[in-house]
Amino acid sequence: MPESPGVVTLDKLVSLCKRRGFIFQNSEVYGGLGSSWDYGPIGVELKRNLKELWWKDNVYRRNDIVGLDAAILMHPKVWEASGHLEGFSDPMTECKQCNHRFRSDHLDASTTSCPDCGGELTEPRQFNLMFKTFIGPAEDTANTVFLRPETAQGMFVNFQNVLNSSRKKLPFGIAQIGKSFRNEITRGNFIFRTREFEQMEIEFFVRPGTDEEWHKWWSRNRFDWYTRFGIRVENLRMREHEKDELAHYAKATTDIEYQFPWGWGELEGIANRTDFDLRRHSTYSGEDLHYFDEESGSHLTPFIIEPSGGVDRAILTFLMDSYCEESVPTNSGKLETRVVLKLHPALAPVKAAILPLSRNESLVPLSKSVLESVQSTGKWNIEFDDAQSIGRRYRRCDEIGVPYCITVDFQSLEDNQVTIRDRDSMSQIRVPIESLPTLLSEKLDG
């Protein structure tokens, strides 16, 4: 079936991502590792920009949130206290004939024979989603540790250390970005659901009684964050969890969902975790994870509001939502399709491209000196491209979302001016070379 022109599909996006260096299949030369992806030269910059925006908005621009970077491997007691050892599992059934395994809650209730070969299925049993490994030379239960399935617990168990060293007062938060791992049985939709993924999480500690208000505040704040950086509001929605889908620790959860080609999917969840986590860790560790309230002169256990976003899902969302196909006239007057990622300049992986009109012995040295003048600031990821026709280079820049193409032509040799082409409007203006660093700074750093 031919794909509809102008409509973004997962196939189109996966293909663009590979061709242009956003995302490659992990271990591709060995046939790949199921649903595992690597960020290429362009993708890694998008990811860096996204994480940097999140960090600066939540840590640098506020005075009530501090950062943390906890290790991936933690003491196994952490997962007893958190409830992950006991409860973080899926019901699995196995075919006795072909040994294929299935999530039993994904099969029709009446299914008794294997969807693949018709064989008989075993009774469902619980399969824990945490990856286990062994620390030290012996491979036994005593040395079993787990790859964290969420970054959150690192913030809970460090609560007292953070409080003592930062001397923050309620309400205050801890922010963390890092990898988590879940041995998911059902994966897929590109980077939407993978076993290894990155999270950006805030644990915001508040006074009991103010938690519902803060939960609303964070849900709104996080929703607006995505639209501020370009996600169309009609493609986003907030959805409250029904009582029966709430996690064991949550009093309420709001999902921010995006309209993916396969339907609405979770982009970020904002949970009201109550005082569950600090109480559990206090009980399991015997350490006092409380807060001394100077106002009342007594101890209290803060409630926690947790905005928990997926880095990879946010990247997929920004790619999907910025993808456009437009009909534009060529030099010869015919119409052709240009694919353009209309990414917010703050997210754009390459901020500007320096393009000599041709590989000419005078143009290339001048172009290199233009490159040097903007690259030496160290502020932006800048490309230099002198391969192929200028038209093809513009198309390539559009496909990776370069906001500004700077073209050096023969007139530049005489007037020391260059052309800046705006990605979205394709309009061009001519500016002096010496003004470029200031001009880009105004456009990009504002």
Residues of this chain, 151-190, that bind a second copy according to CB under 8 A: 154, 157-158, 160-162, 165-167, 174, 179, 181, 183, 185
User: Among 68, 107, 170, 390, which residue sits at the site for a second copy (rule: CB under 8 A)?
Assistant: 68
Best CA proximity match to 433, nearest among 382, 364, 373: 373
Does 206 engage in binding with a second copy (CB under 8 A)? no
Longest dimension (CA), the chain: 80
Q: Tokens standing for 210?
A: 């103010």
Residue 141 makes CB contacts below 8 A (sequence gap 6+) with none
Does 297 engage in binding with a second copy (CB under 8 A)? no
* 222-261 binders of a second copy (CB under 8 A): none
Does 29 engage in binding with a second copy (CB under 8 A)? yes
Nearer to a second copy, 236 or 408 (CB): 408
Task: Provide the minimum distance between the beta carbon of 228 and a second copy in the complex, in angstroms, as a whole number.
Answer: 13
Task: Provide the minimum distance between the beta carbon of 118 and a second copy in the complex, in angstroms, as a whole number.
Answer: 21
Distances (CA, A) of 124 to 109, 129, 130, 251: 12, 15, 18, 29
Does 37 engage in binding with a second copy (CB under 8 A)? yes
Q: Render 358-418 in DSSP notation, one character per residue.
A: S--TTHHHHHHHHHHHHHTT-SS-EEE--SS-HHHHHHHHHHTT-SEEEEE-HHHHHH-EE
Does 45 engage in binding with a second copy (CB under 8 A)? yes
Q: Tokens standing for 114?
A: 């294997």
User: Among 8, 13, 39, 340, which residue sits at the site for a second copy (rule: CB under 8 A)?
Assistant: 39
Stretch that binds a second copy, among 66-74, 115-123, 321-329, 430-438 (CB under 8 A): 66-74
Q: Which residue has the tokens 């590792």?
A: 33
Does 141 engage in binding with a second copy (CB under 8 A)? no
Return the H-helix or E-strand segment holding 67: strand 65-67
User: Among 10, 12, 57, 395, which residue sits at the site for a second copy (rule: CB under 8 A)?
Assistant: 57
Return the H-helix or E-strand segment holding 353: strand 352-356
Beta strands in 163-251 (DSSP E): 172-181, 196-206, 236-240
Nearer to a second copy, 55 or 217 (CB): 55
Q: Render 101-146 in DSSP notation, one character per residue.
A: EEEGGGS-TT--B-TTT-PBBPPPEEEE-S-EEE-SS--SGGGEEE
Does 107 engage in binding with a second copy (CB under 8 A)? no
Q: Tokens standing for 306?
A: 């947790």
Q: Tokens standing for 231?
A: 């996600």
Does 47 engage in binding with a second copy (CB under 8 A)? yes
Does 77 engage in binding with a second copy (CB under 8 A)? yes
User: Among 12, 26, 124, 360, which residue sits at the site for a second copy (rule: CB under 8 A)?
Assistant: 26
* 355-414 binders of a second copy (CB under 8 A): 371, 375-376, 378-382, 384, 387
Does 18 engage in binding with a second copy (CB under 8 A)? yes
Nearer to a second copy, 181 or 218 (CB): 181
Residue 232 phi/psi, 5-degree rounding, is -70, 130
Does 329 engage in binding with a second copy (CB under 8 A)? no
Stretch that binds a second copy, among 105-113, 221-229, 246-254, 280-288 (CB under 8 A): 280-288
CB 278, CB 301: distance < 8 Å: yes
Pairing mode of beta strands 172-181, 65-67: parallel
Paired strand residues for 361? none
Does 339 engage in binding with a second copy (CB under 8 A)? no
Paired strand residues for 304? 205, 274
User: Among 87, 106, 122, 132, which residue sits at the site for a second copy (rule: CB under 8 A)?
Assistant: 132
Task: Provide the minimum distance between the beta carbon of 107 and a second copy in the complex, in angstroms, as a whole number.
Answer: 15
Nearer to a second copy, 30 or 329 (CB): 30
Does 89 engage in binding with a second copy (CB under 8 A)? no
Nearer to a second copy, 134 or 262 (CB): 134
Nearer to a second copy, 241 or 279 (CB): 279
Does 285 engage in binding with a second copy (CB under 8 A)? yes
